Structure 1
Amino acid sequence: MSRPSLIVYCGLPGVGKSAAAAYTADELPARRFRSDEIRKELFPEPEYTAAETAATYDELLERGREALASGSNVVLDATFRSTEYRDRAAALAAEVDAADGVAFVRVTCETDVVTERLDQRTTAESVSDAGLREYRLVSESFEPLERDHVVVDNSGPLEETYRQIDRSVLDR
């Protein structure tokens, strides 16, 4: 059995992490775990406290661990705004001997495009509650990503985002 891969998608709310992560998971194939979904499972009416965030990341990483240990490729989809959670993802990859360790992908997007997308987002089409307020709050607290990583700019059409992923994430 070949060693599974761990790919961590990170970035600000509304930049398109979930679209990029979903594409990657389909193409690999891989199991995808989303912090937004896990938070809602754990906390049906989330208040986005530090304790909720810690519990959400604990569960996200545990699900990733279990899937990797069973031989599945894994894509984690969350802001990963803190070095602590990125370090934990890297430690997880080492613990399960993931192929090539962990690959971090930071999704970016021009602020005006994010603003437009968040204005158009409805809860019917997105499990995320994040709006422009959360985008601004996270942008102020997002710690620098000081690990090797790929940047995918999701400011344009999804097809261009997918081409970037094909070149820089899936062809590595």
Structure 2
Amino acid sequence: MSERKRLVVVCGLPGTGKTTVASDLTKRLEADLVRTDVVRKDRFPDPEYTETETQATYEATLARASRALERDDVAVVDGTFRREPLRERARAVAEDADARFELVRVECDTSVVRTRIAEREGDESDADFAVYELLESEFEPPAEPHYRVDNSGSLGETRRQLAAICETLEARVS
């Protein structure tokens, strides 16, 4: 296994700041970013968010991540990954690529999520607060070891947490 090669999955509920976290990690790790919101819109210009559509979106997302791992050694994937089988599929993609699998769960206070979703402009995500509430009831918390980012505070606080995570990741490479 290449010490640098890794697949980082950023999971969590809509509006928690997954894209902010994934974008920051992408820069820090010099990685490719693959977002389920973007892949869904590429595949389904007028998405209906059916289970079949969701499965197809995640398969296409993970296929893109696999290609990114072949090219650049590090890929960051941004999506809810709300159920364990989706995270297991991502783990299998990492194993197939002989890459480390890292899971980062982004959490955020509900009141902050409500405000952030209301203020979204120009984002690829269609998720409103009702979607957040629905997915909250369906989200299966990861049982496996993972990194946790509390994105309830300032961007600076989030970046400090991400710096610490990246230090840990780099220490595992050394």
TM-score normalised by the chain length of structure 2: 0.93
Instruction: Tell me how large the CA RMSD over aligned residues is.
Output: 1.2
Q: Is the 8 A contact 1:7 1:74 kept in 2?
A: yes
| Equivalent residues, number | 168
TM-score normalised by the chain length of structure 1: 0.94
Q: Is the 8 A contact 1:64 1:76 kept in 2?
A: yes
Q: Percent identity?
A: 43
Q: Is the 8 A contact 2:12 2:82 kept in 1?
A: yes
What SS does the aligned partner of 1:171 have?
Answer: helix
Structure 1 unaligned segments of length 5 or more: list them: none
Q: Is the 8 A contact 1:28 1:170 kept in 2?
A: no
Look up the match of 1:108.
107
| Whole-Å separation in 2 of the counterparts to 1:48 and 1:30 | 28
In proportion to residue count, which structure has more helix?
Answer: 2
| Whole-Å separation in 2 of the counterparts to 1:18 and 1:3 | 22
Match status 1:132 vs 2:129:
yes
Q: Is the 8 A contact 1:150 1:169 kept in 2?
A: no
Look up the match of 2:172.
none
Q: Is the 8 A contact 1:31 1:75 kept in 2?
A: yes
Q: Deviations over 1:77-127 (max 9, x none)?
A: 0000011110011111111111xx2010000000000011111112x2x11
Look up the match of 1:159.
156
Q: Is the 8 A contact 1:153 1:161 kept in 2?
A: yes
| Whole-Å separation in 1 of the counterparts to 2:160 and 2:6 | 20
What SS does the aligned partner of 1:105 have?
Answer: strand
Match status 1:144 vs 2:141:
yes
Q: Is the 8 A contact 1:12 1:79 kept in 2?
A: yes
Q: Is the 8 A contact 2:32 2:72 kept in 1?
A: no
